[in-house]
Structure 1
Amino acid sequence: MQQTIPLNDRDLSWLYFNYRVLTMAEDRAVPLMERVRFLSIFSSNLDEFFRVRMPALLALHQLHEAEQGALAAAQQEIARQLNEYGRIFTQSVIPDMLEKGIRLYYGETPAAEHSPAIREYFYNTILAYLQPVKLHFGQPMELFLENNALYLVVCLEDGGTGIVNIPSDHLPRFIRLSGNDILFLEDAIRQHLGFLFPHVGIKAAYSIKVTRDAEIDVDEFSGHLLQKVEDMLVQRNMGVPTRFLYDAAMPVTLRDQLAEHFRIAALEMAAGGRYHNLRDLADLPLPSDPSFSYPKMPPVHCTALDAESSLLDQIQQRDVMLHVPYQQYDYILRYFNEAAADPDVREIYVTLYRVASTSRIVHALMSAAKNGKKVTVMVELKARFDEANNIRWAKRMKAAGVKILYSIPGLKVHAKVALVKRKRGMYWDHTALLATGNFNESTARFYADHILLTRHQGITQELELLFIYMQTGIQPGRFNFMHFGHLLVAQFNLVDRFKAMIQAEAEAARNGKPARITIKLNNLQEKSMIAALYDAADAGVEIDLIIRSICCIVPRKGIRVRRIVDRFLEHARVFIFHNGGNEAIFMGSADWMNRNLHRRIEVCFPVYDPIYRQQLKDIIALQLADNTNAVILGADGRNLPIQREEGAPEVNAQRDTYTYVRKL
């Protein structure tokens, strides 16, 4: 019988992470607009939770009595956080905006001086997008409530009920009035409900929205995957409800009538505030003021790379590592641009998971194909919420002559790797690009990642084997001359190699030798890896973990866990094992989640260059020393503040990493 190991709940762990995002909005050390953005991020994250995780919790609740507590605990925590959200927004952020001369009307009637402008905007602009409907309870639904769309439910004096859409997908959510006064779009509509429902008085209006299940199951498929994904995307926004969010001021009788009319189950009902979809706060039209935003951190140039006419030649001389967004991502664009134009480059292989909407990388790949090069791209069609964008680019690349590989049955290709093969005379040279984050120049502006460019023969050969597998299904290791020795690849050797390195540290500790493990991940949930870490800690290994989001391991003696939430999204995965003093250092795409280790192609890669090994260790050391925006996780997974000792210097990992990188 398998031994049960202590684990924190994955959904509560994620909710605690999102709560840390929310608390940044109350931190007056954070600039005003950034605090507003943290409110927006919290709201956006929570919407995704209801689209992706809540369906699983609802299903477990119905299927397994033992799991019913998980749903209740999550709902209770969400309710607590939403109360905190309202308090922080109304009692902290809005008053601080008012101190800066910015008035956001929040449930208040705008000053009379604004009435003509609001009236003009309503009749000339808003009215074109409105579709008011009268509801007839007990009869078929008059309209389908679209996913995450906003509506006002209107109580009429004659006892009837109306509903009107809030067109925030077509118009700005906020109306900039004269001066620095700002009005919610729906409040302009509230003022003119009498025009939409004439000849009856208006008693009240309450906002609602429905969030729908976003999961599309394409892991197991038959037939043409591209067509299947396209068909399922059409159905995504028609998914079953997972949350019906309503204004808590709404009368109970009206709430129950709406639930029955729109077929909403009791478990899916959630009380909220006057306003929903506050992710739109990211677009709040605050006046331009440098003090409202973080101080600028222009990405640093690498002078050694700037001095060379060819980046591909430079990589042949020595490895290159970039720490983005602290350093220019332009060098990655240059890598693909050079590969596309260099007449000696014959073949290019790339995996694409999340592509920028205006991707210059993809344009370079299409140019390469038109320039006569063999270009092969593995496009992951199952990248959640990026499926449509990836399909669009895949079709354009295919039309340009790029060979497109689609998803492997039962697997997602989450690796972030590229290979360029160049022939000069009789000889070939290879360069590899391996990253912890997507090849996406848009997210590279605020995702903190590391990228390695190398000519290392073992790494490039093994990367070629991986691309052969993705094209043909021929597995490395099938023959004794085909195996992974440098790369750690999920589905092949990644889990076994990581466990072996953990066990080696445990054995060293048992023998009285120094033993240490430092790991940075986005998510830690896979039970067997957690069990291995517990065993190592029990043996005396000192383990430091930096986990941004889901963390199911329970901190205990020998295991310390911290979380960093700041201006950039901590996205890198880094693994450092003491290894008897000859540290084994890896980076890669793989979190330690069931999906990553068992249902995806992931690649982790070694860092051999001593200069870059030291840089990584220095950056990780700053993150372990952060005493401003880092928190430690308690035994229950909650965020605990770090108490800075009196006289101890203030360490902010992201600010200090930027300073460090500028000096490289």
Structure 2
Amino acid sequence: MIDIPLNDRDLSWLSFNHRVLRMAADPQVPLFERVRFLSIFSSNLDEFFRVRMPALMALHHIEEADTSLLPAVQETIREQLQEFGQILTGQLLPAMKAEGVHLYYGETIDAAHRKPVRDYFYNTVLGFLQPVIIELNKPVEMFLENNALYLVVCLSNGKHGIVNIPSANLPRFLRLPDKQIIFLDDVIREHLGFLFPHTTITGCYSIKVTRDAEIDVDEFSGHLLEKVENMLVKRQLGVPTRFLYDARMPGDLRDSLAEYFRIAHVELVAGGRYHNLKDLAELPMWSANATCTYPPMPAVPVAALEGEGSLLNVIKEKDVLLHVPYQQYDYIVRYFNEAATDPDVKEIYVTLYRVASGSQIVHALISAAKNGKQVTVMVELKARFDEANNIRWAKRMKEAGVKILYSIPGLKVHAKVALVKRKRGFQWDHIGLLATGNFNESTARFYTDHVLLTAHEGITQELELLFVYMQTGISPTRYNFMHFDNLLVAQFNLTNRFTAMIRREAENARKGLPAKIVIKLNNLQEKQMIAELYAAAEAGVEIDLIVRSICCIVPRKGIRLRRIVDRYLEHARIFIFHNNGEEEIYMGSADWMNRNLHRRIEVCFPVYDQVYRRQVRDIIDIQLADNTNAVILDAQIRNIPVERKENEPAVNAQKGIYAYVQQC
């Protein structure tokens, strides 16, 4: 094992989520966007409890394991939740009220609003409620669904009621007259006497259970599709990882509920009056003040692609590199639409990891199959939390005649690639699409990514080779004859090539030559790659890293580490190696995580066109110059704001890149 200094992955992720939380506290961020950042923080934390907390709890009980980690994580979360409450109640709710938007937050409902609340309860909400009486000294008789909301109602007869809050079926918030808003929870609280008659209500507290989402599909027998469908059912029945309760709840009631629902003490987490505050993203807002939201940044058209002719013909003649969402994603949809209807297109190949629920791209693939084209789609059924959507689309495509490949045993296919084969006379055209992000029109509006459209012979031939491999599903070790000279493909050459490029920079530094590496990632955790970066820095290589989320490397001399959290989610992966002036630039789907490099099929692709190489360098330079939203990560994974020098102009990377692409 390599013994190198590393930051903990979970604490580093919590540092990222804290940066999201600080955006909600930033007065420079528009008010309603600050509320949205609170929602993102809450949603992120829910996923952390579903995915990472089970592993931390298991590790905590292993002999000789670091038993200080779980308490450190829990204390960090506790502090962040306390800050969350202070930001919401101390800053945002008063600021919203000043804008004329009032959210009832544990307050008595005004007399003028009681009738609309009452009408909504009886006419709409009541039919979704399933109140249950429980006796805490008797065996458990009910099951709390994952991340569902409940009210625990204390009754004067010594029993307790449990009422579901049907936020999965109804809006979490009710609009009232005069720009007033009330939680669905409080609509129900106001009418508990109807649900529990013939007794007195002595208390009411909100609770929520979060359950383990990490289910291994290898536990199940049968075909992969059946395995994943079974997994989705089992996930909802997973063991608890968090019992979130209203901190005002009496301690004896909390302990009795924990025993009744078989909740361990370590899973108890105190919260506020309301849970699932990711629903703040649905909060109705009214304001004539345009400063309450981000100003519009409409996606920029690309002049070379705006003609009436065929997009595929344009790509055949020259590479196109798109920077989304700054530039229009419509061209990607058009690529698939043209391929589906062009009579000369005979074959289409594509990998799908996360697609939109109403995906135009998938509809185009279905049309292509119905138009008689050979369409092959690798659908990754193991894309966490998107499994059900992927299963639904896979079945629809298969019914239409699309050849569906259901993953590869032991591997996830995380690559974002497509290939169109067009035959004109005796000549075949190969037109490829390679991206840093998913083929998803919905997330493309707020994820920053790059998409290469190319007919480069070497790249497209290697794409075809990769799809040949994916159709067999045999271990990569059986494919020694497969060589990728242009593409970097995990399981084949990706780690070796990245390692070689890092070591080349180190050797150049030792020779006294210029040596520099710039890498932008979502996550950096893989130990061997971090060790290579440490060694390169010691040799004198200047390394700039932009890492959005998990970051286990410890900054030191020669290694500068930044994080950018802003309007858009920074999602692209970019790798730039100076190579003594013969710069090499790659983009792709691969973070430097154990899972990406060792348990997935990933593809990184070169940028050969000199115009686009200049654009990529310029975009990275703008991000490295950000002195408004960028933060420096120190050795303790703290987010340290970039200090702007006196008279230095403010640079916001995302605004700067938007202005830049308008000139491209």
TM-score under structure 2 length normalisation: 0.98
Instruction: Output aligned runs, 1:536-547, within 5 Å.
Output: 536-547=536-547
Question: Would you say the 8 A contact 2:525–2:593 is kept in 1?
Answer: yes
Matched residue, 1:307: 307
Matched residue, 2:17: 18
What is the CA distance between 1:481 and its match in structure 2? 6.2
Matched residue, 2:33: 34
2:215 equivalent to 1:216: yes
Question: Would you say the 8 A contact 2:50–2:214 is kept in 1?
Answer: yes
1:418-445 Cα shifts (integer Å, max 9, x gaps): 0111111111110110000000111100
Matched residue, 2:256: 257
Matched residue, 2:518: 518
2:224 equivalent to 1:229: no
Paired AA for residue 78 in structure 1: I
> How far apart, in 2, do the equivalents of 1:65 and 1:21 lie?
34
Paired AA for residue 196 in structure 1: L
Question: Would you say the 8 A contact 1:468–1:474 is kept in 2?
Answer: no
Question: Would you say the 8 A contact 2:350–2:377 is kept in 1?
Answer: yes
Instruction: Output aligned runs, 1:498-513, within 5 Å.
Output: 498-513=498-513
Question: Would you say the 8 A contact 2:573–2:588 is kept in 1?
Answer: yes
Matched residue, 2:184: 185
Matched residue, 1:580: 580
1:2-42 Cα shifts (integer Å, max 9, x gaps): 44100000000000100100111111111111111100000
Q: SS of 1:66's equivalent?
A: coil
Paired AA for residue 82 in structure 2: N
What is the CA distance between 1:479 and its match in structure 2? 7.5
> How far apart, in 2, do the equivalents of 1:239 and 1:288 lie?
42
2:163 equivalent to 1:200: no
> How far apart, in 2, do the equivalents of 1:258 and 1:223 lie?
38
What is the CA distance between 1:99 and its match in structure 2? 1.0
Matched residue, 1:364: 364
Change (3 A) 1:407 1:61: same
Change (3 A) 1:150 1:182: same
What is the CA distance between 1:480 and its match in structure 2? 7.7
Matched residue, 1:4: 3
Change (3 A) 1:423 1:643: same
> How far apart, in 2, do the equivalents of 1:67 and 1:476 lie?
36
Query: Higher mean Cα deviation, 136-145 or 373-382?
Result: 136-145
Paired AA for residue 623 in structure 1: Q
Matched residue, 1:317: 317
Question: Would you say the 8 A contact 1:590–1:602 is kept in 2?
Answer: yes
> How far apart, in 1, do the equivalents of 2:126 and 2:90 lie?
33
2:81 equivalent to 1:82: yes
Change (3 A) 1:532 1:135: same
Q: SS of 2:245's equivalent?
A: strand
What is the CA distance between 1:209 and its match in structure 2? 0.3
What is the CA distance between 1:162 and its match in structure 2? 1.4
Identity %: 73
Matched residue, 1:623: 623
Matched residue, 2:556: 556
Q: SS of 1:334's equivalent?
A: helix
1:96-138 Cα shifts (integer Å, max 9, x gaps): 1111111111111121211111111111111111111111112
Matched residue, 1:377: 377
Q: Which runs of 5+ in 1 are unaligned?
A: none
Instruction: Output aligned runs, 1:84-483, within 5 Å.
Output: 84-218=83-217, 223-289=222-288, 290-473=290-473, 482-483=482-483
> How far apart, in 2, do the equivalents of 1:474 and 1:200 lie?
66
Question: Would you say the 8 A contact 1:627–1:651 is kept in 2?
Answer: yes
Paired AA for residue 639 in structure 1: N
Q: SS of 1:586's equivalent?
A: strand
2:97 equivalent to 1:62: no
1:25-70 Cα shifts (integer Å, max 9, x gaps): 1111111111111000000000000000001101111123423211
What is the CA distance between 1:191 and its match in structure 2? 1.4
1:254-278 Cα shifts (integer Å, max 9, x gaps): 0000000000001110001111000
What is the CA distance between 1:473 and its match in structure 2? 4.2
Q: SS of 2:61's equivalent?
A: helix
1:455-488 Cα shifts (integer Å, max 9, x gaps): 1111111111100001124678967863111100
Question: Would you say the 8 A contact 2:152–2:205 is kept in 1?
Answer: yes
Change (3 A) 1:141 1:478: closer
Q: SS of 2:182's equivalent?
A: strand
Q: SS of 1:67's equivalent?
A: coil
Paired AA for residue 156 in structure 1: L
Paired AA for residue 53 in structure 2: M
> How far apart, in 2, do the equivalents of 1:172 and 1:513 lie?
61
What is the CA distance between 1:582 and its match in structure 2? 0.8
> How far apart, in 1, do the equivalents of 2:643 and 2:88 lie?
26
Paired AA for residue 81 in structure 2: L
> How far apart, in 2, do the equivalents of 1:481 and 1:143 lie?
58
> How far apart, in 2, do the equivalents of 1:474 and 1:595 lie?
19
What is the CA distance between 1:158 and its match in structure 2? 2.7
Paired AA for residue 267 in structure 1: V
Query: Higher mean Cα deviation, 2-11 or 644-653?
Result: 2-11
1:322-363 Cα shifts (integer Å, max 9, x gaps): 000000100000100111111111111000000110011011
Paired AA for residue 121 in structure 1: Y
> How far apart, in 2, do the equivalents of 1:18 and 1:311 lie?
40
Question: Would you say the 8 A contact 1:219–1:411 is kept in 2?
Answer: no
> How far apart, in 1, do the equivalents of 2:614 and 2:219 lie?
43
Paired AA for residue 299 in structure 2: P
Paired AA for residue 364 in structure 2: A
Question: Would you say the 8 A contact 2:628–2:650 is kept in 1?
Answer: yes
TM-score under structure 1 length normalisation: 0.98
What is the CA distance between 1:140 and its match in structure 2? 2.2
Paired AA for residue 525 in structure 1: Q
Change (3 A) 1:188 1:65: farther
Change (3 A) 1:112 1:65: farther
Change (3 A) 1:203 1:221: closer
Equivalenced residues, count: 663
Paired AA for residue 192 in structure 2: L
Q: SS of 1:635's equivalent?
A: coil
What is the CA distance between 1:288 and its match in structure 2? 4.9
Query: Higher mean Cα deviation, 449-458 or 154-163?
Result: 154-163
Question: Would you say the 8 A contact 2:99–2:287 is kept in 1?
Answer: no
Change (3 A) 1:481 1:594: closer
Question: Would you say the 8 A contact 2:100–2:287 is kept in 1?
Answer: no
Paired AA for residue 310 in structure 1: S
Q: Which runs of 5+ in 2 are unaligned?
A: none
Paired AA for residue 499 in structure 2: K
1:206-264 Cα shifts (integer Å, max 9, x gaps): 10000001112126876410011111111111100000000111000000000000000
Change (3 A) 1:201 1:437: same
Question: Would you say the 8 A contact 2:2–2:528 is kept in 1?
Answer: no
Question: Would you say the 8 A contact 2:574–2:588 is kept in 1?
Answer: yes
What is the CA distance between 1:292 and its match in structure 2? 2.1
Question: Would you say the 8 A contact 1:11–1:74 is kept in 2?
Answer: yes
> How far apart, in 2, do the equivalents of 1:620 and 1:257 lie?
55
Instruction: Output aligned runs, 1:585-600, within 5 Å.
Output: 585-600=585-600
1:488-513 Cα shifts (integer Å, max 9, x gaps): 00000000000000000000001111
Question: Would you say the 8 A contact 1:476–1:484 is kept in 2?
Answer: no
Paired AA for residue 103 in structure 1: H
Paired AA for residue 229 in structure 1: V
Q: SS of 2:178's equivalent?
A: coil
What is the CA distance between 1:187 and its match in structure 2? 1.1
Paired AA for residue 88 in structure 1: I
Paired AA for residue 240 in structure 1: V
Paired AA for residue 183 in structure 1: I
> How far apart, in 2, do the equivalents of 1:495 and 1:545 lie?
18
Instruction: Output aligned runs, 1:46-61, within 5 Å.
Output: 46-61=45-60
Question: Would you say the 8 A contact 2:148–2:208 is kept in 1?
Answer: yes
Q: SS of 1:63's equivalent?
A: coil
Instruction: Output aligned runs, 1:597-612, within 5 Å.
Output: 597-612=597-612
